[in-house]
Amino acid sequence: MGTAVDAPNKGTNGSMAEKKPTVVFVLGGPGSGKGTQCANIVEHFGYTHLSAGDLLRAEIRSGSENGTMIQNMIKEGKIVPSEVTIKLLQQAMAESGNDKFLIDGFPRNEENRAAFEDVTKIEPAFVLFFDCSEEEMERRLLGRNQGREDDNIETIRKRFKVFLESSLPVIEHYKSRGKVRMIEAARPIEEVFESVKAVFTSKNEAE
């Protein structure tokens, strides 16, 4: 009982730190193609893809009090409190059984970043940043017609503004630590994935 072998299975906080999973943050503006490329990375490199947005939307669908609060904040274009998103991410990581994660759309700001590292004791292996012009992202979002209520022009522009103001300092922070891998995301999907593959292949070779 209580041996070192058992320890990694206990508790969300402890287990994440003890297993020391590999975490890659995936950042880029709305419509930069993060979701599509994450699916390719999962298929080719065996990562588990955790989308902060998907986890939040699932919480909204659950009808919980937490979900209602999240829905109201998203409608107003505000950022959901760090502890709410981190808790959802930790839960998903613990339940996945994997030790390699793509965390998509998080951290959205410096406070998110600091809170994630503080709570989980995990620093990302690197940050995959999908760089795409606002015009191209807007064109993609308006064309995808997925029935998401946040895909109208006013909300899209609000989301761009929030992304620029909040996420760029996170990218700058990791850039200063040599952890940002910039991907030119306005190209066709196949070309973008060739660049992504090169990043993950060189990471595997470095290990």
DSSP count for the chain of H helices, then E strands: 9, 5
CATH code (residue 40): 3.40.50.300
| Prediction pTM value | 0.78
Binding residues for CMP: 112
Q: Of 30, 34, 53, whose CA–CA distance to 42 is shortest?
A: 34
The number of beta carbons lying within 10 Å of the beta carbon of residue 24 is: 23
In a domain, 84, yes or no: no
Return the SS3 of 16.
helix
Is 129 part of a structural domain of the chain?
A: yes
Let me know if residue 80 belongs to a domain: no
pLDDT at 150: 58
Provide the pLDDT confidence category of residue 18 given band limits of 50, 70 and 90: low
Q: With contact defined as beta carbons under 8 Å apart, do 88 and 104 qualify? A: no
What's the rounded mean pLDDT across residues 40-46?
A: 95
Binding site listing for a ribonucleoside 5'-phosphate? 57, 78-80, 105-108, 148, 159
Above pLDDT 90, what percent of the chain?
52
Domain count, the chain: 1
Domain that includes residue 135, residue range: 22-50+98-201
Report, as an integer, the average pLDDT of 186-207: 86
Which residue numbers belong to the known binding site?
31-36, 57, 78-80, 105-108, 112, 144, 148, 159, 187
Residue pLDDT, tens place only, 59-92:
999 999 989 999 998 888 887 889 999 999 999 9
Binding-site residue numbers for ATP are 31-36, 144, 187
pLDDT for 108-134, tens place per residue? Answer: 899 999 999 999 999 999 999 998 877
- Specify if 55 maps to a domain: no
